[in-house]
Chains A and B, each alone.
Chain A
Amino acid sequence: MTTFADPSPPAGAPLPPPSGGPVADRPNRRRRVSSTKLVEMVGSAVAALALVWVVFAVTGVSAPLGMAFAWFAVFFTIYGILCWRLYGILIAKDRMADVGIWGGALVALGTLAAVIIYVILKGAAAVFTDFPHFLVADMTHLGATASITQLGVGAAIVGTIEQVGLATIITVPLGVMTATYLVNTDNPYSRLVSAVVDAMTGAPAIIAGLFIYILWVAPHHETGKSGFAAAMALAVMMLPIVTRAAQEVVAIVPGSLREAALALGAPEWRVLLRVVLPTARAGLMTAVILGIARIAGETAPVLFNAGGLEAYNWNPFVGQQDNLPLRIYENIFQPGAVIQQSAWGASLVLVILVLLLFMLARFLGRGGAGRRSFVPWARRRRSSTLENA
């Protein structure tokens, strides 16, 4: 771009008034929510609330969800009619769409808030009475007479960490290699693999559990149920998730980087290990952690396979193991307020665990490629280059 011909006025000279108007005629920058619009909305909302309140009070119905829904519907109608009378049908449609779209998004947000707050309210008592105890104790005292301070999810946490860890170890190399294959190859076979990965992403969780039960647990009879079996079922669920996410990350590694390395004579496997993966590092971490967060909450795959032992079992390969979602499931159906409370406590622990993982993934993903280094060899390489220089 050349800026030589820039006709800037000499410094100090007043700006010439734009043709056809006085200097004060600035572009009219409208505020997003004008005060009239706000008044119309609040007015409609109050009118709708009053109307719904009266109707519900007169009929004597008490239904919070129904009332909220009716309020929104009446507000929508009143606001629509108001805008139609004031501005005509076109603007009215636009305004109603605004309200509908905000409403839909708020319903999604409200659901998230509602489920998290409800779990906190119900589970906090179990987790925070005698604080770390619930996180380290096991469920061996489970019974009708047990108090909440005797129960804990320690064994379940150990099981979840080991099973999810094993599933991750199985899945990540396979998933990343499959993703690389799908990105680098375009033939009917790779398209078939890609379609299968897509289709498996939405496969029912219970099928993974059933499959591993038939394949592994049933042939081994008594000794079949173990943390490893559960990990395999989780891996079946996790593989497509990790593959699909890794594929997206690997695909955006600039082709010029790969081609430069290849042109310098690097073999393909080194290009993958030294160029593609380090470039995609942040994205890959995000993908893997999101996959972990997704499967850590899966109940159905581990249902027939983990066994659900109440006591600690540190060895995932021998003997039954517990698992957080499985523990919730087992305790929900047992009678007794205390056991229910422990199920809520376990739910809270599980929700906190997956949400922490989720936020970690978002945090890492924000870093962008190559800004931080999480892989030891990258840091080593950089320092050795400095020494050589």
Chain B
Amino acid sequence: MLAPPPAAPGSPVVDEQPITINRSVTRADRIFRFALAASGTIVLIILAAVVVFLAKHGWRAMTAGGLHFITDSSWSPDSGRYGAMSLLVGSIAIAVVGVLIAGPISIAAALMINEYAPIRMRSFLTGAVDMLATVPSIVYGFWGLELVSNLQAAPAKWLVDHFGFVPFIRTPTPGEFVQSIFACGLICAATLVPIITSVSREVMAQTPRDACEAALGLGGTRWGMVTDVIFPFSRDGILGAVLLGFGRGLGETMIVVLVLSKANKMVWGIMGPNGLGSIAKQITEDFPTATPIDQSALIFLGLVLFVTTLLVNIAARQIVQRGGRS
């Protein structure tokens, strides 16, 4: 920047000051701005309304049940017990299994699209991964119930036989390995792959290109470049992407409704039927035929699920954004 030339003595300095333009906002524009802000507010109103309405209708059951809601694992409306422990643990377990399976696949797919695939294949791969998200979850559920749940039975049996000492890897009812939490998580993974892939792909793409090329130029292998440049740079973003997938897995409804068998027993095993339950499944199946007090309890369950996924999502977005900025 050049310094402004010194003003000649006696010349008026006033002329060089920037003039202020007073752009008056017309009434039409004021209405327009208001309409824009109002439409933004509608999103907030919907969110607030969801929380308020669910809380209002779920209040009755919550005050009746109290702390038993979390500590009791028996959800039996007939005897007036609303213990959601098995449902909560089951929902979390499904999401964890889904993320453990979908995470590595998604990171591989993201690296494939960003770094490994030939240029011409990239748009096809992106489309294919997005297409996974377009297939309706009820179709995944139906497919999973008829095919995957049976296909995974033999590997699940093998896992239990040889790695039964690992926590959670056992079956509540000996001899059977279908319609389990594990099967649900496995099928849910198909719906989690697109979200984790697209988010982590965007974060990885922000890695400075010259740093990648410097690594290659120093004689590093491509995998060396990935582990030493891309992963350190996008670690937070990938973590956030996985967390987003976890939030999605918590709320997965139709797959769980179709695949999981219903027992709602508090067991620490994920490989067999008649074990843990799931919040979304419980609401979907019981709500239409429930009595008012049962409905209230189910609505409160819905509120718990909603608030949990909301918090997980917000945390995940924060992590992704922080990762992208650094």
Summarize A's interface: helix, strand, loop or mixed: helix
- B218 to chain A: which residues have CB within 8 Å? none
Q: Could you tell me if A108 and B49 are in contact, using CB atoms closer than 8 angstroms?
A: no
Does B90 have its Cβ within 8 Å of any Cβ on chain A?
A: no
Q: Looking at the complex, which one of B32, B43, B54, B313 makes contact with A202 (CB distance below 8 Å)?
A: B313
Q: Looking at the complex, which one of B36, B105, B244, B284 makes contact with A107 (CB distance below 8 Å)?
A: B105
State A62–B197 Cα separation when bound (angstroms).
Answer: 33
Nearest to A357 among chain B residues (CB) is: B134
Does B154 have its Cβ within 8 Å of any Cβ on chain A?
A: yes
Does B193 have its Cβ within 8 Å of any Cβ on chain A?
A: yes
Q: Could you tell me if B49 and A211 are in contact, using CB atoms closer than 8 angstroms?
A: yes
Q: Which of B142, B152, B280 has the most CB of A within 10 A?
A: B142
Do A192 and B309 form a contact, CB below 8 Å, given A112-B132, A199-B314, A299-B254?
Answer: no
Q: Could you tell me if B40 and A205 are in contact, using CB atoms closer than 8 angstroms?
A: no
State A65–B108 Cα separation when bound (angstroms).
Answer: 20
Nearest to B127 among chain A residues (CB) is: A362
- A213 to chain B: which residues have CB within 8 Å? 287
Shortest CB-to-CB span from B5 to chain A, Å, is 29
Does B20 have its Cβ within 8 Å of any Cβ on chain A?
A: no
In the complex, per-residue mask of B240-276: 1 if CB is within 8 Å of any chain A CB, else 0? 0000100110111110011000000000000000000
Does B3 have its Cβ within 8 Å of any Cβ on chain A?
A: no
- A293 to chain B: which residues have CB within 8 Å? 134
In the complex, per-residue mask of A190-209: 1 if CB is within 8 Å of any chain B CB, else 0? 10110111111111111100
Among the stretches B59-67, B81-89, B203-211, B220-228, the one at the interface with A is B220-228
Among the stretches A148-156, A236-244, A377-385, the one at the interface with B is A236-244
- B109 to chain A: which residues have CB within 8 Å? 104-105, 108
Q: Could you tell me if A210 and B283 are in contact, using CB atoms closer than 8 angstroms?
A: yes
B: interface residue count bin: 35 or more
Q: Which of A104, A243, A332 has the most CB of B within 10 A?
A: A104
Do A210 and B309 form a contact, CB below 8 Å, given A119-B139, A268-B29, A303-B284?
Answer: no
Q: Could you tell me if B36 and A177 are in contact, using CB atoms closer than 8 angstroms?
A: yes
State A332–B285 Cα separation when bound (angstroms).
Answer: 14
Q: Could you tell me if A97 and B226 are in contact, using CB atoms closer than 8 angstroms?
A: yes
Q: Looking at the complex, which one of B142, B224, B252, B312 makes contact with A94 (CB distance below 8 Å)?
A: B224
In the complex, per-residue mask of B161-183: 1 if CB is within 8 Å of any chain A CB, else 0? 00000000000000000000000
Q: Could you tell me if B253 and A206 are in contact, using CB atoms closer than 8 angstroms?
A: yes
State A33–B151 Cα separation when bound (angstroms).
Answer: 34
Do A332 and B44 form a contact, CB below 8 Å, given A206-B302, A269-B29?
Answer: no
Shortest CB-to-CB span from A96 to chain B, Å, is 8
Nearest to A32 among chain B residues (CB) is: B118
- B244 to chain A: which residues have CB within 8 Å? 202
- A66 to chain B: which residues have CB within 8 Å? 154-155, 158
Shortest CB-to-CB span from A264 to chain B, Å, is 13
Does B75 have its Cβ within 8 Å of any Cβ on chain A?
A: no
Nearest to A344 among chain B residues (CB) is: B142
Nearest to A358 among chain B residues (CB) is: B134
Does A314 have its Cβ within 8 Å of any Cβ on chain B?
A: no
Q: Could you tell me if A236 and B46 are in contact, using CB atoms closer than 8 angstroms?
A: yes
Q: Could you tell me if A215 and B53 are in contact, using CB atoms closer than 8 angstroms?
A: yes
Does B92 have its Cβ within 8 Å of any Cβ on chain A?
A: no
Summarize B's interface: helix, strand, loop or mixed: helix
Does A318 have its Cβ within 8 Å of any Cβ on chain B?
A: no
State A294–B135 Cα separation when bound (angstroms).
Answer: 8
Q: Could you tell me if B143 and A118 are in contact, using CB atoms closer than 8 angstroms?
A: yes
State A182–B40 Cα separation when bound (angstroms).
Answer: 8
- A243 to chain B: which residues have CB within 8 Å? 43
Task: Given A204-B305, A214-B299, A268-B32, output 13 extra A-B contacts at Cβ < 8 Å.
Answer: A65-B151, A102-B112, A105-B109, A105-B117, A177-B40, A181-B39, A185-B36, A190-B40, A203-B306, A204-B250, A204-B280, A240-B43, A303-B284
Can you list 22 A-B pairs, Cβ within 8 angstroms, ordered by A?
A: A98-B116, A104-B106, A109-B128, A112-B131, A112-B135, A118-B147, A122-B146, A174-B39, A184-B36, A196-B43, A202-B195, A202-B247, A204-B252, A211-B53, A240-B43, A267-B26, A269-B28, A269-B29, A303-B284, A304-B287, A328-B138, A351-B135
Residues of A within 8 A of B (CB): 32, 61-66, 69, 90-91, 93-94, 96-98, 100-105, 107-109, 111-112, 114-116, 118-119, 122, 173-174, 177-178, 180-182, 184-185, 189-190, 192-193, 195-207, 210-211, 213-215, 236, 239-240, 243, 267-269, 272, 290, 293-294, 296-300, 303-304, 325, 328-329, 332, 343-344, 347, 350-351, 354-355, 357-358, 362
Residues of B within 8 A of A (CB): 26, 28-29, 32-33, 35-37, 39-44, 46-47, 49-50, 53-54, 57, 104-109, 111-113, 116-118, 125, 127-140, 142-143, 145-147, 151-152, 154-155, 158, 190, 193, 195, 197, 221-224, 226, 244, 247-248, 250-254, 257-258, 280, 283-284, 287-288, 299, 302, 305-306, 309-310, 312-314, 317
Closest 7 CB pairs of A and B: A104-B108, A297-B136, A204-B251, A63-B154, A94-B221, A97-B223, A177-B39
